[in-house]
Every structure is written in structure tokens, then in C-alpha cells.
Structure 1
Amino acid sequence: MKIIKLTFLLMLAATFTVSAQKVDSNKQEVFDFFGDRDGNRYRSASGKPGPEYWQNSADYKINATLNPEEDLLTGNITITYTNNSPEELEFIWLQMEQNRFTEESRGTLTTPIQGNRYTGDMDGGYKISNLNAKSGRKGDASDKHIITDTRMQVFFNEPIEAKGGTATVSMNFEYIIPTTGMDRMGQLDVEDGTIFAMAQWYPRLAVFDDVRGWNTHPYLGAGEFYLEYGDFEYNVTVPFDYIVVGSGELLNPNEVLTSEQQNRMNKAANSDETVYIITPEEVGDAAKTSPKQSGTSTWKFKMKNSRDVAFATSKAFIWDAARINLPDGKTAMAQSAYPIESDGENAWSRSTEYTKASIEHYAKKWFNYPYPAAVNVAADIGGMEYPGLSFCGYQSQGKSLWGVTDHEFGHNWFPMIVGSNERLYAWMDEGFNTFINFYSSEVFNEGEYADDLHQPRQYASWLTSESREPIATFPDVVDTRNLGMIAYVKPAMGLFMLREYILGHERFDNAFTAYIERWAYKHPQPDDFFNTIENVAGEDLSWFWRTWFFGNGNIDLAIDGVYPYQGRYLVVLSNKGEVPMPVNMKVVYQDGTEEMINLPVEIWQRGNSWNHLITTAKEVKSITIDPKKIIPDVNTSNDSWPSTIYDEE
């Protein structure tokens, strides 16, 4: 092929340079700082909680009795609420999620006729009695309240004082336990009995914060939870032959476990190998599984500084456990409870191994695990997380069981430790958790179940579909067909790009860890995350937040041409997509050597074209943008320059 003359090259370069210098108003907007993210006294512009940051708290004492013959849960609850806000509160709001399971609930009425994942029973709902609400220590009690769908407003005769005022609210409650609980709780009949997976099982305080005041969004389906932190003491009374596993620490093992079970529990607490508490052969034999042979047993638990608790109970449980080794030298206990149907070396007999590995990885990599136990329960639930306890599909096996176990226990970091608002920002827990799951799967058992997040280009068809929606779409608003992508996959890809392509491991890890440490047991908003990453990593990423998290555009970087001349090569690049990105190129020379060229994102600030000159005495064989295929570029046909180049005369 004939040589490209110098005059032509200069004309070509000039043409593309003019194009690059011409300001594209749309691109300029992309590079504007995203929105108003100035700090205030509650939330700093650096991403830290501000000097006057506050949040309220709720401590719970609950007594519950489960009647499996009538599918009935009855109980009483006392909540001690502390108002740390700068204003008096004349009332509080409680979340009453069991009211979702009625014919007239908003969630029922907004569920399509054909149903979906969030279809639930309609014969439930709370019955409340003996409500007593009192602010301070000497105030008169009030029973005034209004129940609206899945919310209850409780009024006080005297306001709760600001900056540390307290109130107590007590009541009796009962409801029919759903069989189908929107894939988050419910019942599963198995050969040896029924498994009751109990979540959203008591009235829970809504969050009052500095951003929205009372967060009273109803429980519809896709939107999950936003809860205050506090200490829990809860007692669960069940038939004598039922086992109860729950969030937190079991306080009375000597009352509810046999001597042999206590010995096995002690052995498990010191073992890295799984130890049976109840063996498969013992299931259904009350003489071996219970210290009592009639009546009921009350299992007592406590959990400190948690946003929620959940439990499961059945007489059909195989129960095993092992030690979790934490980076501070302390230990916790991994446990699994599952029926005979779930037993097997390729199935739930590995659950405790998976749970232990998952918790140990995240505790070492990101932030220490704070709870005394991590309990995995086999249920008729695809996968659902609560502090220190998860429900996973009882039929899951192999990679599927590892994946759901690792994902649900990863949620202990987001949103159990970092308490974001799941009802509005599903991506801040599901997406972040999906991201950390990728690295956990890479290292578990030398990659036995390595994930595929590193193949983002497989999602090109969704990323270019007309029905796609932005990450920032609220979960109860989004088309349910898009929820998996905008809550889980796309935000995880965003963090993956930040770590692997934009910032690098060290800067990203410093920033991400700082976010967790700053907002542990607090209530971050999206801007708190954005500001922390930018300030700790030292990078203005407004262009990335705007386009990837709030926009609906795509990445399409291209090599338009490569033109050699006297030992130099002019590489003509273009940004054909709506999301600007740095350009990381691998150059391969004819002698087999390689080099990486990394161009910053700022090359696109003035337009969509850029010229880069490679000065080398070697002959270029090929050039490839993003050779590791980290970014989900939607058009791979223009990412590489062919190995055949123009030869000099």
C-alpha cells in the first residue's frame, strides 16, 4: 500500500483538531458538576457526616408466640424511641408491612392481574390492641393512632423533646402468617413439617431524617426497607419440638437445647469445619432435638445496634454450624438450618461453608462483621437478607446456592451496616452488594464459582433497548423487567469500571472503604456516596455519575483510523456514545512487544473527536481500546484497529 504523504497527514490532523476544539454543548453539560452537592451542617461536601449530623434511634422489646396450627403470630412490643433531631415531634410513624397482605392494600391493588414476584396472600394484616404512647417519663399516655395501608401514625399528648427526648410506645399485635409473602417471608411445607420464615414480623419505626423528614413510602413490592438502628431483645415461643434460629445471640441455650446440642454448639464455635447441631437422622425425633417433651419453649435473643431482626422456626430443621474468623481476632458463628429435602454435598450441606467464607472475605476486605452469628435458612424464598440472617431457596445447589448465599450475606454490609434507603435507592444496596460479590466469588475456593461481571459486554442488548431505564429510577416505579439491571447489574458495572478502569484499585479501595467507615450505622444519601468517592480518590467524577447513574446513554469509544509517518502514528479517536470515558489502549508492535496508552477522560471535554500521536521507532501491528473488555462498550466493531497497516514506500 502506498505511503500517506505528510501534507495529507497535516490536513487530516488539522481537520480532526478543529472538530475536537469545537465545543459540543451537550458534552459540556455532561462535564458540568452534577447538581447542587454543596455541604451543610448535617452532610459535608467532603462526603462525611456533618458536624451536626444526627439520627434517631429505636430500641425494641418483643414477645411473640407462633401457633403453627392456626398460622398465627401474636405478640406484644415495647419501643423506646429517642429523638435526636433538632425539632420536637408530635407523632411518630411506624411501618406495618404485614398490612400489605390484604385485599385492599396499595401493594395488592398495584400488582398486575397476572401477578409477579411480589404477589402475596390477601388474608393477613395486623390487628392492633392496647396501644399506649407516652413521651418523656411523666407524660400522660395516649392511644390515638391512624393506620393507613402499611403505615401507622402514633400521636403523643406532649411532643417528644428535641435533641435527646424519649418516648415509649407499646401495643399488642397479631396476624395470619402469609404462605406466600412476596418472596421475602412465608411458609414452606416439607416432609417433616413446616418452615416459617419470619420477616417484617413486628411494627417497625420509620426513619425521620434531615433530608425528607418522615420517610413514609408505602410497602408495595419492589421497594425494600429503611429503618432506624437500635438494640433488640426478642423472645419467640413455639411448640416444644420446634427449633428457632434468629438474628443475634441466643441467650438461653441451656433452656432450649439438649446437653448434646450444647456440646456440639461449643465444638462448632471452635471449628473451621462444619459441625452438626441436629443431624439428618435426628430430624423429627423430639427426644433427641428438644430438652422438653411437651408444651412450648421460649427462645430468647438479643442484638445490639441493628436495624432489624428476623427468625425462622420449624421442627424439620437439620442444623449445623462452624466458626467465623474475624480480622480483629474475634469470632462469630456461621449456621445453616434446612430440611431433609435440601440435604446433600452439592446442596445445603455446604451452606455453612459458603456462609463462613462469604463473611470472612467481606470482613477482611471491607469492614469487620459486627454480629455474633450469620444464619442461612432454607425456605421457599429466592433470596432475602436481614441482619445476621438470610433466607435462600431450599432447592438451590452448587453455584446457585453459593451465589444466593454470598449475595444475601453481602447485604450485611449494604444496607445492614451502611443503612441506605432501600425503598428509594435500591442500587445503593443491591448494586454495591453485587459488585463486592464479584470479588468474593473470584477468591472462594480458588475460583470454584467465579462470577461473570467481568464480561459486561454481554449486556449490550439491554443497554441499547428502547425500554431501558436509568439506575436512579425508584424501585416501585421501574418496570419490573428492568429492576434486575438497574438495581443490581448496571450499578455494579459502574463500580467495576471505577475500580478496574477509571481510578485503579488503590484509589478506589481507599474511597470505598472510607464510605463504609464514614456511614456505618448511619443513613447515607446518594450524594454522600458521590462526594466521598470524589474527595477520597481526588477525582471529579460528575461526568460519570451524571451519565451512568442518572442518564440512559451508553459507551461507544472508537478508533476511526491509524495513519503512520516516519516513525510516528496518528491515532484518530472518537466518542460515539453518550458516556465519556478515559481511553485505555493496548498497542502491539510487529516485534511482539506491547505498551498501554492511557488517555484521560478530559480529552472529550470540548467535543467527540481526539487525535493522539504515538512516537515510536517500531512498526505498529494493532491497537485495541479496553483490551480487558472492562467497559460495556455497545459497539465492539470499532474498538480495534486491524493488524494490517499502511506500509511506507
Structure 2
Amino acid sequence: MIKRIISGLMFSTLLASSAAFAQQGYESNQADFGEFMDRKGTYTRTASGKPSENYWQNRADYQIEATLDDEAHVLTGKITVTYTNNSPETLDFVWMQLEQNRFTPDSRGTLTTPVQGNRYNGDVDGGFDITGLQAKVGSKGSVSDKHIISDTRMQVWFNEPIPAKGGKATIAMNFSFKVPEKGMDRMGRLEVEDGWIYAFAQWYPKMAVFDDIEGWNVEPYLGAGEFYLEYGDFDYKITVPFDHIVVGSGKLMNPKEVLSKELQDRYAKAQASDETVMLVAPDEIKNTELTRPKQDGMITWHFQIENTRDAAFATSRAFIWDAAKINLPSGKTILAQSVYPKESEGQEAWGRSTEYSKASIEYYSNMWYEFPYASATNVAAAIGGMEYPGLNFCHYNSKGRGLWGVTDHEFGHNWFPMIVGSNERRYPWMDEGFNTFINHYSTLAFNDGEYPSTLNETRKFNNYFLKEDREGIDTYPDVVNISNLGMTAYRKPGMGMVVLREYILGHERFDNAFRSYIKTWAFKHPQPSDFFNHMENVSGENLSWFWKGWFYGNGNIDLAIDGVYPYAGKSLVVVSNKGDIPMPVVLEVEFEDGSKKLETLPVEIWQRGNTWAHIIDSDKKVVGVTIDPHKIVPDINISNDSWPQKIYED
């Protein structure tokens, strides 16, 4: 038998009402509202969250030529990096990243992988072979070959220092590596019926970042921590067997040399079409006479991408290839394209990939900041989902909602961290969390909500917030328990951004601030304090209590209604903060006549204690009050969010 108990507390005396008021003004929770980190302006960064006139950032421009041996699964290449030292100090050496060295038996990443394994398992029979290194300062400097390789880093020394404030150096070398089959879910190769699919990332020696915060950022590449890279221009050429198709970050520079006349015509048609155009159909995969300009030997595909932090590519003889036009807010048009094997074809699967890609890029460009690159490419591979500038690797078995979700997420990364160049190795929430947040709205918009978003169902994740072994957003990715990474890097910061937009600031103030943050830090390197300061200054709100509690704390939110009482001909609602994080209180008040009203109590009520009494300014009888009626806030205890409190028991 179910017995329904409705408890409603009533003030019967003035003494009782005075007791409620007595909680106001006698305690102080000011510590919750104070600064929790040093966010003062510096010589290079302002207190308003902008780069100052003294901000500097080094630059790396790349020229790369690489050749694939698809029988030995080896990529061989040569690279020349032109490095510009814009810092105020001379540099005797530079550090570079050799991320393929993660795939060795004695790499730090291999040795720190737990016995049971994790997502970042990888082959251990690879690693870079580096030869012929030459480094010099300026055009006439003497050549040095001095270098030290330590795990996934390489230190390159010069015979004379690189001058400050604009000095240039060049570093050239040959490299080769065996392409891993299991590339830690970031790159690698997949065998399908028609051949191998090669997904190339972390494929060339890269410059490490030298910045105004840490100097050289040389954390080793372990697996979970991703990347932090300098910006520059890439000019790269990929030589493959004649029957391969290559797609890469940026613009294909020589379509007439690598595509047949028929394929050139289809390519041009796709660039003008809002509907997906088939470039290489499933039954044409092996018909190289129709699609390729030559029928033997090797062929070189040439790509360029400007003002970017990285470049990736994929190649295979097994690709179906389709494409369509992307319309950008400026009036410019670019290309959305997808490549996938016949194992992935079908309208319930990768046949809609280009449609998804086009919708994703167009939405983010209109909502936040225009996409800056010449193409947006989705590649089917044996990779759950991984992003690079203008190019994704997504799992070849993904379908429907899953394929939309991973495609949209990986393309969203073009804004965080490809455009806004945060340090993923340390602060994954500044790319994964922000991206998860923008994915929420993109999903709601796609095809009038064809697929659902769960990010606004914040209380769905209360089991995590009640776990004793939960970890904070600020936990480094290579330290966090892998089972918690999805929350610390993705969902919890994403939820926090939804709460900030939907509950705390509102759309107009939030959108103004977030768009300004993106525009201000586009192609630069913001720190967490820059984000916090910028959002506060543009929105006009001190949010220290929110950053401290949600982003740099591990506590929970629990707002409660203690009761509603008659008071001086009106009604008095008493609310309390039973959790660890202060929060504004949005109340929905229901009256006896069926009408309702919303009232918002500012977060400052909690500066004076954990209980607050508020008069409902109406002489109508109050029959119900609910906190957060739209359930936006991830409150861990829904049983105390309403009055009368309804308790159900057997």
C-alpha cells in the first residue's frame, strides 16, 4: 500500500518567523566568493582576459614531403621547420615533440599504462627514426646537428642563439616510422576488404610551445593528455601508390595532377552543391581508369593549410568519396567531404556523413566564429573519434545518432582547441568541455532536433556526483582515473557552461562574452585565468564563486526549500544552501488560482549564511514553490527542491 505524505510547515507565531530571519546577516560565507587563483594582469595578459600589447607568441611554419610504403606500412619523409622566436629572450635551443616515440616498449606512455590496459593502448614496435638533422640560425648561420632525444621530446641546439623579438631559425631532418595498427585511438591503420585505411596523425616532428607562462612546455606524450602546439603555415606533399585517394587538412593544391578529368568535374560539382555529390561510388572503388590520371607507379598529393597548429591526412585505395558545399556567414564557400570503405556505406551510416559535416560546420560558424579552413573532412577509420584541423577520424562502424554525435563533436574541436589554442595536455576542459557544450546546441538545432541531446539532463549524472572517488575538473588528464575522464574533461565542464548560459547569465550576456573570448583568443594561447577574466569582464558579473566551486572544486550543489509560511498578509519562503556551491535560486511560485510566477534570488544571498527568507510579494495564497523548475542545475537532491514536499513510501 502506497501512503502519500505531504508535509507543509507553517509559521504559527511571530517568534517562528523571526527565527527564520535571524539566519540573515549573522554568518559569512565570503570565502566562497573570494578569488581562488591569481588572476591579476601580467605584462603579457590583461586583467580583463585579453592579450596585452606586450603579448607574444612564437611561430612554426612547416614544409614536409612524405612517402608511404604500403607493403611495409612505413612512412618516410623530410621536414623543414622555419621557427620564429617572437619572445623577449634569446634561445640557445628548441624543444620538439616526437609523438611516434610513444609506440615503443620503453616509452613513458607504455610504462605508465596499467596492466589491464585502457583506451590508450598502442603498438610498441614503432617510433621515429631521425637522421640528417641540420639546425641553423638565420640564412647564413653555421649548421649544427646537436640534438638529444628523450622519450617523446627532442632538444635541438644551435651554434648561436636565436635572436629575440623576431629571430628565425630552420630545423631540417629526415624521419621515418612504422605505422602502428593500434595508434592509441588517435591514428593508425585498418584493414578492410578493399585494402588498408591509413589515418596519419602525430606523423612528423613538431615544435613544442615556448610561451610566457611556462617557457618550454615539454610534458611527455603519455596518451590521455593531448596536444599544445604553435601556429604556422603548412605546405605538405604526400606520395602514395597511384590508386590511393588522399585527403588532408587544408586545400588540395593539385587536383588536376591527382584526379581524372571525370573526377575533377565531380569535384567541381560538389563545390557548388548543397546536396551530397558522389565522387567515387562504391562500385567505382577499383575503377582507377575512371577516377585516376595514371595507372601505375606513385603519385603525389599536395596540400596547404594556413595559420594552423597541426595537419593530418588519410590515404587508402578502399575509399568511397563524397562531398558537398559548406556555406559560411561571410558568403565564402568551402568543401565538406567524407571518405569511407564500403563496409561503412548506407544512408543509416556513413552515407550521411557529409550531410552531418556540413551542418556542423555551418552551425558553429554562424553561432560562434567562422570556420577558417578550406575543407572539412570526415574519415572512417578504426578510431573512436579524434580531431585535427579540418579533418576528423571517426569509427567506421558508427551509424545514425552515434555517427552524428562523433562527427559533430570532432568538428566542434576546430573551435576548441584548433582556433582557440588552449593547452590540452594540462587543461582538457578548455577544449573537451567547451566543445561538449557547443555540441549540445548544435545537436538541438540539427534537423529540428532529429537526435536528442542529454547535456541539459544534468541530474541524470547524479550518481557520479555522489561517488566517493569522483575527481575535479582541474585534474590533469594523465593523472585522472580513466573511468572519470568523461566527466572531468567533457560532461561536467559542459554542464557548467550550460548552467552559466541558461541559469546564471542568460543567453545574451553569455553569448556576447563567449563570442568575444573566441574572437579575442583565436589562434592564440589562453590560460584558464584568461577565460575566467574575459567572461566576467564582458558579461559584467563576478563569477569567482562559480569557477571556484564547479571548475576548481569537487563539491556539489544542493539547494532546498525549508518551508513556506504566512507572513504579514503575504507568504514567506525559506530556502537553504545545503551543498558546497552557492547558486542563484530560481523559484517558480504557484498560486491557488492556478497562476504562476518566476522569481530569482541572486547568488549574493549566500554571502550572509546558508539560509534565506524571501517574501512573495502577492496577497494570493501560495500553494506550491519549486526551485529550478526547468531542471537546469545539477542539484544532487531533488527531494527538497519543492514545497509542499512530496514523499512517497510503501
Name the CA distance, whole Å, in 2 between partners of 1:438 and 1:139. Answer: 52
Q: Secondary structure at the match of 1:481?
A: helix
Name the CA distance, whole Å, in 2 between partners of 1:288 and 1:122. Answer: 40
Corresponding position of 1:19: 23
Name the CA distance, whole Å, in 2 between partners of 1:481 and 1:135. Answer: 46
Q: Relative to 1, partners in 2 of residues 1:450 and 1:5: Cα closer, same or farther, differing over 3 Å? A: closer
Name the CA distance, whole Å, in 1 between partners of 2:630 and 2:549. Answer: 22
Q: Secondary structure at the match of 2:286?
A: coil
Structure 1 window deviating more from structure 2 (159-168 vs 589-598): it is 589-598
Name the CA distance, whole Å, in 2 between partners of 1:91 and 1:459. Answer: 48
Name the CA distance, whole Å, in 2 between partners of 1:389 and 1:4. Answer: 60
Name the CA distance, whole Å, in 2 between partners of 1:347 and 1:147. Answer: 43
Aligned runs of 1:324-343 on 2, under 5 Å? 324-343=326-345
Aligned runs of 1:160-199 on 2, under 5 Å? 160-199=162-201
Amino acid at match of 1:578: D
How far the C-alpha of 1:4 sits from its partner, in A, is: 9.2
Q: Deviations over 1:316-348 (max 9, x none)?
A: 000000000000000110000000000001000
Corresponding position of 1:631: 633
Corresponding position of 1:256: 258
Q: Deviations over 1:339-384 (max 9, x none)?
A: 0000001000000000000000000000001000000000000000
Report if aligned partners of 2:126, 2:178 keep a CA contact under 8 Å in 1.
Answer: yes
Aligned runs of 1:234-273 on 2, under 5 Å? 234-273=236-275
How far the C-alpha of 1:588 sits from its partner, in A, is: 1.1
Corresponding position of 2:158: 156
Structure 1 window deviating more from structure 2 (558-567 vs 100-109): it is 558-567
Amino acid at match of 1:70: A
Aligned runs of 1:93-242 on 2, under 5 Å? 93-242=95-244
How far the C-alpha of 1:551 sits from its partner, in A, is: 0.4
Amino acid at match of 1:343: E
Are residue 469 (structure 1) and residue 471 (structure 2) matched?
yes
How far the C-alpha of 1:564 sits from its partner, in A, is: 1.9
Name the CA distance, whole Å, in 2 between partners of 1:2 and 1:201. Answer: 65
Corresponding position of 2:406: 404
Are residue 60 (structure 1) and residue 59 (structure 2) matched?
no
Report if aligned partners of 2:64, 2:237 keep a CA contact under 8 Å in 1.
Answer: yes
Consecutive unaligned residues in structure 2, runs of 5 or more = 1-5
How far the C-alpha of 1:30 sits from its partner, in A, is: 1.0
How far the C-alpha of 1:607 sits from its partner, in A, is: 1.0
Q: Secondary structure at the match of 1:169?
A: strand
Amino acid at match of 2:622: V
Corresponding position of 1:88: 90
Amino acid at match of 1:165: G
Corresponding position of 2:291: 289
Report if aligned partners of 2:128, 2:176 keep a CA contact under 8 Å in 1.
Answer: yes
Corresponding position of 1:375: 377
Corresponding position of 1:545: 547
**1:280 aligned to which of 270, 274, 282:** 282
Q: Secondary structure at the match of 1:287?
A: helix
Q: Deviations over 1:532-555 (max 9, x none)?
A: 000000000000001100100000
Report if aligned partners of 2:262, 2:291 keep a CA contact under 8 Å in 1.
Answer: no
Name the CA distance, whole Å, in 2 between partners of 1:565 and 1:418. Answer: 53
Structure 1 window deviating more from structure 2 (608-617 vs 329-338): it is 608-617
Are residue 526 (structure 1) and residue 536 (structure 2) matched?
no
Q: Secondary structure at the match of 2:548?
A: helix
Amino acid at match of 1:16: A
Name the CA distance, whole Å, in 2 between partners of 1:309 and 1:558. Answer: 51
**1:420 aligned to which of 419, 422, 431:** 422
Q: Secondary structure at the match of 2:334?
A: strand
Q: Secondary structure at the match of 1:552?
A: coil
Q: Deviations over 1:289-339 (max 9, x none)?
A: 311110000000001001000000000000000000000000110000000
Amino acid at match of 1:451: S
Name the CA distance, whole Å, in 2 between partners of 1:3 and 1:167. Answer: 75
Q: Relative to 1, partners in 2 of residues 1:4 and 1:512: Cα closer, same or farther, differing over 3 Å? A: closer
Q: Secondary structure at the match of 1:564?
A: strand
Q: Secondary structure at the match of 2:608?
A: coil
Q: Deviations over 1:18-61 (max 9, x none)?
A: 3232324xx32111123221101200000111110000000000
Report if aligned partners of 2:350, 2:399 keep a CA contact under 8 Å in 1.
Answer: yes
How far the C-alpha of 1:5 sits from its partner, in A, is: 8.9
Aligned runs of 1:60-79 on 2, under 5 Å? 60-79=62-81
**1:384 aligned to which of 373, 383, 386:** 386
Name the CA distance, whole Å, in 2 between partners of 1:602 and 1:4. Answer: 26
Q: Relative to 1, partners in 2 of residues 1:538 and 1:83: Cα closer, same or farther, differing over 3 Å? A: same
Name the CA distance, whole Å, in 2 between partners of 1:575 and 1:534. Answer: 24
Name the CA distance, whole Å, in 2 between partners of 1:299 and 1:10. Answer: 84
Consecutive unaligned residues in structure 1, runs of 5 or more = 645-649
Q: Secondary structure at the match of 2:402?
A: helix
Corresponding position of 1:444: 446
Q: Secondary structure at the match of 2:564?
A: strand
How far the C-alpha of 1:3 sits from its partner, in A, is: 12
How far the C-alpha of 1:393 sits from its partner, in A, is: 0.5
**2:309 aligned to which of 302, 307, 312:** 307
Corresponding position of 1:345: 347
Amino acid at match of 1:117: R
How far the C-alpha of 1:451 sits from its partner, in A, is: 0.6
Q: Relative to 1, partners in 2 of residues 1:55 and 1:5: Cα closer, same or farther, differing over 3 Å? A: closer
Q: Secondary structure at the match of 1:19?
A: coil
Q: Secondary structure at the match of 1:478?
A: coil
Consecutive aligned runs of 4 or more in structure 1 exceeding 4 Å deviation: 1-6
Identity of aligned residues (%): 64
Report if aligned partners of 1:62, 1:76 keep a CA contact under 8 Å in 2.
Answer: yes
Name the CA distance, whole Å, in 1 between partners of 2:557 and 2:334. Answer: 44
Amino acid at match of 2:19: T
Q: Relative to 1, partners in 2 of residues 1:9 and 1:580: Cα closer, same or farther, differing over 3 Å? A: farther
Q: Secondary structure at the match of 1:104?
A: coil
Amino acid at match of 1:12: A
Name the CA distance, whole Å, in 2 between partners of 1:276 and 1:3. Answer: 66
Instruction: State the TM-score, normalizing by the size of structure 2.
Output: 0.97
How far the C-alpha of 1:123 sits from its partner, in A, is: 0.3
Aligned runs of 1:590-629 on 2, under 5 Å? 590-629=592-631
Name the CA distance, whole Å, in 1 between partners of 2:259 and 2:384. Answer: 30
Name the CA distance, whole Å, in 2 between partners of 1:316 and 1:141. Answer: 44
Name the CA distance, whole Å, in 1 between partners of 2:458 and 2:367. Answer: 23
Name the CA distance, whole Å, in 1 between partners of 2:145 and 2:162. Answer: 15
Instruction: State the TM-score, normalizing by the size of structure 1.
Output: 0.97
Report if aligned partners of 1:4, 1:564 keep a CA contact under 8 Å in 2.
Answer: no
Q: Relative to 1, partners in 2 of residues 1:9 and 1:43: Cα closer, same or farther, differing over 3 Å? A: farther
Report if aligned partners of 1:4, 1:565 keep a CA contact under 8 Å in 2.
Answer: no
Q: Secondary structure at the match of 2:403?
A: helix
Q: Relative to 1, partners in 2 of residues 1:21 and 1:407: Cα closer, same or farther, differing over 3 Å? A: same
Amino acid at match of 2:16: L
